């Protein structure tokens, strides 16, 4: 359906969709007496609708329940929570079952997308949206969980997110690491020293976080007994003033602390790409044929 959308744009005769690589095909197949805009709009709606249904019905329901236990709560050094993978060498330990299940679901989605097959741009779009889903669910949970705002959790969360980042790197989704930066930066903030001398450094290690989010984490922070001093209200006020002074052109301090749940962007799938597929070989989806017959 997505490829058909590109082909309809390509052969519409519009100069904005003309490229030297496929000029010979455009000249051969361009629509001289037909305006494909109605069918094109229908195809775009179909692509967007199919993608949203795929994401909300097949991907998100399987991934979302695993995010908090796999990324935020699992202690990677807890031997009792490690499992031995079937078929592995004796004594070899793997991550907690929730992390293993999360990686398994990502592998399943990736394998299915390869079979379809998704082109590189569609694959990037899909896994970027999955990364945004992971960030949104995990980050927003952190904003409300006082029990997760401590030094130990910071170490744990950073380790678990790095495991996930390694999966994205392994599958050539290097740019997706940027999407998960806010989660890593919260982990860095939880691990950072919290003295007046360190406030300037907060601006650097938390460059992807809003001041309101930094303040929220500090307010929820629970120091380890006899190891760290308590984060005082005056210190938090000092942090807010100094960071807002550094970001006075971009922030007011009243920005929301949670990330909006608008991670899906099906429009990226509709961005035109030239296609060298011969129209004679294209199989028109039945839904499009039925729609075309009505107009």
Tens-place pLDDT, residues 112-171 = 988 876 778 888 889 999 999 999 999 999 999 999 999 999 999 999 999 999 999 999
Q: Cα separation of 16 and 8, whole Å?
A: 13
Return the CATH number at 246.
Answer: 1.10.357
Task: Specify if 169 maps to a domain.
Answer: yes
Task: Specify if 288 maps to a domain.
Answer: no
Tens-place pLDDT, residues 264-276 = 766 666 565 556 6
**What's the mean pLDDT in 6-11?**
56
Q: Could you list the residue range(s) of the whole structural domain that residue 188 is in?
A: 35-74+93-260
Task: Specify if 70 maps to a domain.
Answer: yes
> What confidence tier does 88 reach under pLDDT thresholds 50, 70, 90?
very low
Task: Specify if 239 maps to a domain.
Answer: yes
Q: What is the count of structural domains for the chain?
A: 1
Task: Specify if 290 maps to a domain.
Answer: no
Q: At what angle do helices 120-144 and 211-220 cross, to 10 degrees?
A: 50
Task: Specify if 206 maps to a domain.
Answer: yes
Whole-Å CA distances, 246 to 19, 145, 215: 46, 28, 15
Asked if 106 and 173 touch (Cβ cutoff 8 Å), the reply is: no
């Amino acid at each position: 359906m997505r490829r058909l959308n590109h082909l309809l744009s390509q052969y519409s005769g519009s100069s904005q969709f003309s490229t030297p690589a496929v000029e010979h095909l455009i000249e051969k197949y361009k629509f001289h007496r037909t305006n494909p805009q109605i069918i094109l709009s229908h195809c775009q709606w179909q692509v967007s609708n199919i993608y949203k249904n795929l994401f909300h019905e097949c991907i998100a329901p399987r991934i979302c329940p695993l995010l908090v236990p796999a990324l935020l709560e699992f202690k990677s050094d807890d031997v009792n929570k490690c499992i031995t993978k079937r078929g592995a060498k004796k004594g070899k330990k793997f991550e907690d079952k929730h992390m293993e299940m999360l990686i398994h679901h990502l592998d399943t989605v990736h394998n299915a997308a390869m079979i379809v097959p998704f082109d590189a741009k569609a694959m990037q779009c899909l896994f970027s949206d999955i990364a945004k889903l992971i960030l949104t669910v995990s980050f927003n949970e952190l904003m409300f969980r006082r029990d997760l705002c401590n030094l130990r959790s910071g170490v744990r969360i950073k380790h678990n997110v790095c495991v996930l980042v390694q999966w994205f790197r392994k599958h050539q989704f290097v740019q997706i690491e940027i999407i998960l930066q806010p989660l890593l930066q919260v982990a860095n903030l939880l691990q950072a020293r919290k003295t007046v001398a360190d406030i300037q450094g907060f601006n650097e290690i938390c460059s992807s976080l809003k001041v309101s989010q930094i303040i929220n984490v500090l307010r929820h922070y629970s120091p380890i007994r006899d190891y760290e001093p308590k984060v005082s209200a005056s210190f938090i006020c000092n942090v807010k003033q100094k960071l807002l002074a550094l970001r006075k052109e971009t922030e007011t301090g009243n920005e929301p602390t949670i990330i909006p749940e608008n991670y899906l962007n099906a429009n990226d799938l509709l961005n035109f790409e030239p296609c060298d597929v011969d129209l004679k070989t294209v199989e028109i989806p039945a839904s499009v044929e039925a729609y075309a017959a009505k107009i």
